[in-house]
Structure 1
Amino acid sequence: MGVGYILLAMAMPGSLYIGSLIVGICYGVRLAITVPTASELFGLKYYGLIYNILILNLPLGSFLFSGLLAGILYDMEATTTAGGGNTCVGAHCYRLVFIIMAGACVVGFFLDVLLSIRTKDVYKRISISKNLR
């Protein structure tokens, strides 16, 4: 996903389409693996609560990155118009937002790697118990 955001930040011809495609596929994969990950790691007893907490990242991230961060950085890049509004035209308007989002994705990637290292024993026990059946 970080690669997609870097492509969006570069603003080369066609990078909008490729970057959007990469980011969209990554979001879809992330949503698809949340369900089995939540059930395998935490069990099914409080599955509804745990799943909703894991899915809370979508509206929270949209608000923080799209609502606050993108709005504030756009206003910093924009020039004031005669009518009292702000306007910004060009690739530089959202470049810093995409770079920050790529950085957040890189941090998330390393946290995912840490999670996979820490849960290696859980998955080993799951595979052993399936082989014993």
Structure 2
Amino acid sequence: MTDSEQLSALEDLLAELTDLSETHILIVEGKKDCEALSNLGISGDMFTMQSGGGPVRAGEYVSSHGGKSVVLTDWDLRGDRLAERLAEILSKGPDDTDFKIRSGLRHLCRMYIKDVESLDTFVLGLRAKSI
């Protein structure tokens, strides 16, 4: 995959994430993840597991705030385990949980970065190359 193709696929995913962020809670691991998403123009309700109390509290927060979420944990071993735990917790309720964005980011970025907090630098670098 060329840089241009990779950037195009990432931009599509980020556009979808931007749309979802209007109606879904974005579940991230830490504050730097929120900052990276913000740097990419993505805003909305973000639950930070590091300061918010972990996966169980994330599940409670999602359930009490409309039941729609996007899981954006890192794509390292710890992030995979957190995503699995969240899937377990969120599947117990009527929640509408999206894992597709995380899966797409993992597929497109795993050779270069392993976490959400590096996503802005990676995408901005690809954008700069394409100019």
On whether the aligned pair clears a TM of 0.5, the verdict is: no
- Greater radius of gyration (CA): 1
Query: Hey, which of these two has a bigger chunk of strand by percent?
Result: 2
Query: Hey, which of these two has a bigger chunk of helix by percent?
Result: 1
TM-score, normalisation: structure 2 = 0.29
